[in-house]
Amino acid sequence: MKQYLKLKLNQKLSPQQIQLMKLIQLPTIDFEQNIQRELEENPALEIEENRNENIDEDYSNSNDERLSDDEDINIDEYLNYDDTPSYKLNYSSNNENENNEIPFASGISFTEYLTSQLNTLKLDNKEKKIAEFLVGSIDNSGYIRQELNEIVDDLAFTQNLDVSIDKLKNILSIVQQLDPPGVGAQSLKDCLIIQLKRKAVNDDIELAIDILEHSFEHFSKKHFNKLIAKYNISEERLKAVIKEVEKLNPKPGNSYSNTNKPIEHIIPDFKIEIDNNNLILTLNNRNSPILKISKEYDEMLKGYKLDKNKTKSQKDAVQFIKQKLDSAKWFIDAVKQRQETLYVTMSAIMEYQKEYFITGDEKNMKPMILKDIAEKIEMDISTISRVANSKYVDTPYGTKLLKEFFSESMTNQSGEEISTIEIKKILQTIIEKENKKFPETDEKLVKLLVNKGYKIARRTVAKYREQLNIPVARLRKEI
């Protein structure tokens, strides 16, 4: 053990920088809610009621006015108060929706909905406990993912219930009779069969059950010729069977859970308009509140300053006022910087993609990565990423997610740099127009793209196809 000196450099973010980064990445609704919460928590912060609706003029002409109320405040002479205000340490962007104009029904959970149905069944106490345990094991999609022997062990350890596999299967079959149809299945195959057995029986449904029970692999891999030969049926008959299966819900739990989710309303953070072939950018007017320091708190602090005989309670009051004034000043500055950063970044993106915003043709969208915009406005790439995160822009061609304008570049056979967005659009068009009886494989798609002047590898085509949520050729096959 010995003492020694060691010098090292550390780079740390100040509380103001952390607060700014968090504000930048918030979309309009969350940002508005964050301001409302700050106004409620900090009495030294107020909002200017007389505001100009023109967001650009209002923003540029009132920056000095926002801070004019606290220019002569010198609070450092009272205390050396270095604690970070609590609101900077307890920050969350997951704000609760406080808009009373949009009511939402509370509803009950999916598990509660299933459990309530058990009360209508004739089950003894042990069977009901097993059934409730099975219901509790159902995920949001409506499936029980555990194996039966694992459930038997869980029942023994957690519920002190000794249950055989056969008994568990019987209770599981009862749970699978609950609504929505297909709930409680352990696989997609079982889920589809359960739903078919709940339908009115006819020849096509009976054949569909038979095919799923005994030839599910052929059916899932769309080996239609093998099914036609095995069951000695016509192509039209197989089409009818496929049509019955397509009516089923592969995720029965979603049919209930989706009805209880509030509708998400998208509010654009930016708006781009075209006037005489010129682009006009504005920030959402909800995005720029005019904040100021409370005059009442300013006067309170000045009153304490004039009082030479300060008691301990008065010093505590000064400490409290200092904390609130610091918090208010930091927040006002963070809001100001947020507005500047968002406007400058979106302006750069708009200018970079000017041809697209003028024409609306995605072929005119230039390759653009975060680094391009960061270098253009001399900001860090991480800042550009935060601005693009969850932000929307209202354009003459619809509301777009900001991240959609960023793409990698590729060089076509003419030597021109093109956006990968253009290639994906062409790839999607080719697949939409293909013969569904003989869908194009990835190798064939490569050749078709080469014929159009886009030379890319097969693995790249596969990557783009997956990004477009398009399955492989075998799964796109129809009869």
- Asked whether the predicted pLDDT for residue 90 surpasses 50, the reply is no
Q: Where are the alpha helices (DSSP H) in 353-409?
A: 354-359, 370-377, 381-388
Distances (CA, A) of 451 to 372, 444, 448, 456: 31, 11, 5, 11
pLDDT of residue 346: 92
pLDDT of residue 425: 82
What would the mean pLDDT of 368-385 be, rounded to a whole number?
A: 88
Greater confidence, 393 or 67? Answer: 393
**List of domains in the chain:** 110-258 (no CATH), 413-476 (1.10.10.60)
- Asked whether the predicted pLDDT for residue 99 surpasses 60, the reply is no
pLDDT of residue 89: 34
The mean-pLDDT minimum among 92-96, 110-114, 230-234, 390-394 falls in: 92-96
- Asked whether the predicted pLDDT for residue 160 surpasses 80, the reply is yes
- The tens digit of pLDDT for each residue in 417-440 reads 666 777 888 888 888 888 888 888
pLDDT of residue 345: 92
What would the mean pLDDT of 10-29 be, rounded to a whole number?
A: 73
Rounded Cα–Cα distance for residues 224 and 241 (Å): 11
Q: Mean pLDDT in the chain?
A: 77
State the pLDDT confidence band at 66, using cuts at 50, 70 and 90.
very low
- The tens digit of pLDDT for each residue in 220-264 reads 888 888 888 888 988 888 888 888 888 888 888 877 655 555 555
pLDDT of residue 94: 40
Amino acid at 462: A
- Asked whether the predicted pLDDT for residue 413 surpasses 70, the reply is no
- H or E stretch at 214: helix 203-214
pLDDT of residue 10: 67
pLDDT of residue 81: 33
pLDDT of residue 68: 35
**Cβ–Cβ under 8 Å, residues 314 and 76:** no
For 251, other C-beta atoms within 10 Å of its C-beta total 17
State the pLDDT confidence band at 76, using cuts at 50, 70 and 90.
very low
- Asked whether the predicted pLDDT for residue 462 surpasses 60, the reply is yes
- The tens digit of pLDDT for each residue in 111-148 reads 888 888 888 888 888 888 888 888 888 888 888 888 88
pLDDT of residue 96: 41
What would the mean pLDDT of 69-73 be, rounded to a whole number?
A: 38
pLDDT of residue 64: 38
- Asked whether the predicted pLDDT for residue 316 surpasses 70, the reply is yes
Greater confidence, 85 or 382? Answer: 382
- Asked whether the predicted pLDDT for residue 86 surpasses 60, the reply is no
Rounded Cα–Cα distance for residues 478 and 436 (Å): 5
pLDDT of residue 351: 92
State the pLDDT confidence band at 313, using cuts at 50, 70 and 90.
confident
* CB-count exposure of residue 327 (10 Å: 0-12, 13-18, 19+): buried
Instruction: Look up the pTM and report it.
Output: 0.52
pLDDT of residue 310: 64
pLDDT of residue 323: 81
State the pLDDT confidence band at 348, using cuts at 50, 70 and 90.
very high
What would the mean pLDDT of 9-16 be, rounded to a whole number?
A: 66
- Angle of helix 312-352 versus helix 370-377 axis, rounded to 10: 110
Dihedral of CA atoms 169, 173, 175, 177 in degrees, nearest 10, equals 180
- Asked whether the predicted pLDDT for residue 63 surpasses 80, the reply is no
- Asked whether the predicted pLDDT for residue 67 surpasses 50, the reply is no
